[in-house]
């Protein structure tokens, strides 16, 4: 069964702190996506990781991909309240473009 | 430029009725996807159109669900004889599909379907 496991499912963190969200996926894939969703809103693309060892950074977020371990991480540096949202990772099923999504990590940043 | 648009934004219907949900992809995008998001099942793939190829319908949960894409652009997702378990947010996405790689999928705002 194709599946994606994210952890933690819920993360409450103080502003200024660092934390990492983990995404494990169950099959060979060389494309991994991270999306952000604000309450009541649609999905916003954050990162597309296309190869083993890929690392991308945007502001306080950095994503990496290890295809051998089937693991992607989303690292948050010095969190701010504006980062509060739900973060989803997703991979594409081999040979197709359909996204298989993780359960999401709900991030809440408090002062 | 304009993003993916969907209509209606909200739809409330009675059990047993048919509904149609519309998606306008980003102009020039060759691929169009439907997903749904519900509390119990999370985000699930439904169907995928790419150019003139036969659609990938592997995610449709039952034969009550169908979709078409006219002229390689606008798509309509139809749910016949709606059931309460069909209540969810239906999301449409579109992307370029290029040789050896795939652009990210850009999502529309969704249609919230409530079946009473």
Domains and CATH numbers, chain A: 4-110 (2.60.40.10)
**Which pLDDT score, from 0 to 100, does residue B28 have?**
87
The whole-angstrom separation of Cα A15 and Cα A102 is: 25
Place A40 in a pLDDT band, splitting at 50, 70 and 90: confident
Count of domains in chain B?
1
Residues of A with CB under 8 A from a CB of B: 31, 33, 35, 41-45, 48, 50, 88, 90, 92, 96-101, 103-104
Task: Render pLDDT for B91-113 as a digit per residue (tens, 0 to 9).
Answer: 999 998 766 566 789 999 999 99
In a domain, B57, yes or no: yes
Residue spans of chain B under pLDDT 50: none
Provide the CATH number for the domain around residue B62: 2.60.40.10
Q: How many CB pairs under 8 A join A and B?
A: 53
**Nearest-5° Cα angle at B46, A100 to A33:** 25
| Interval A61-71: pLDDT, tens | 999 999 888 89
Burial A10-35 (b: 16+ CB within 10 A, else e): ebebeeeeebebebebeeebebbbbb
For residue A42, pLDDT over 80 is answered with yes
Q: Provide the domain limits for residue B39.
A: 5-110
Residue B48 sits at the vertex; the CA angle it makes with B46 and B54, to the nearest 5 degrees, is: 125
List of residues 6+ apart from A23 with CB closer than 8 A: A4, A5, A6, A32, A34, A71, A72, A73, A74, A89, A102
Minimal Cβ distance to B110: which of A42, A48, A103? A42
Banded pLDDT at A88 (limits 50, 70, 90):
very high
Task: Give the pLDDT score at B99.
Answer: 61
């Amino acid at each position: 069964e194709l599946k994606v496991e994210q952890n933690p499912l819920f993360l409450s963190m103080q502003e200024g702190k660092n934390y990492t969200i983990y995404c494990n996926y169950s099959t060979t894939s060389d494309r991994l996506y991270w999306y952000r969703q604000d309450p009541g809103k649609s999905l916003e693309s954050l990162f597309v990781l296309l190869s083993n060892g890929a690392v991308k950074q945007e502001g306080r977020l950095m994503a990496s991909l290890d295809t051998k371990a089937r693991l992607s991480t989303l690292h948050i540096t010095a969190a701010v309240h504006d980062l509060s949202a739900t973060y989803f990772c997703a991979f594409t099923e081999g040979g197709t473009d359909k996204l298989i999504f993780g359960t999401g990590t709900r991030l809440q940043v408090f002062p | 430029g304009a993003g993916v648009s969907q209509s209606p934004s909200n739809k409330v219907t009675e059990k047993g009725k048919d509904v149609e949900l519309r998606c306008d992809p980003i102009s020039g995008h060759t691929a169009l996807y439907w997903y749904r998001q519900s509390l119990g099942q999370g985000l699930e793939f439904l169907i995928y159109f790419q150019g003139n190829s036969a659609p990938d319908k592997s995610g449709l949960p039952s034969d009550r669900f169908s979709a078409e894409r006219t002229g390689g652009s606008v798509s309509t997702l139809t749910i016949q004889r709606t059931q309460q378990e069909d209540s969810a947010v239906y999301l449409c996405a579109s992307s370029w599909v290029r040789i050896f790689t795939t652009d990210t999928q850009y999502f529309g705002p969704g249609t919230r379907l409530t079946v009473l």
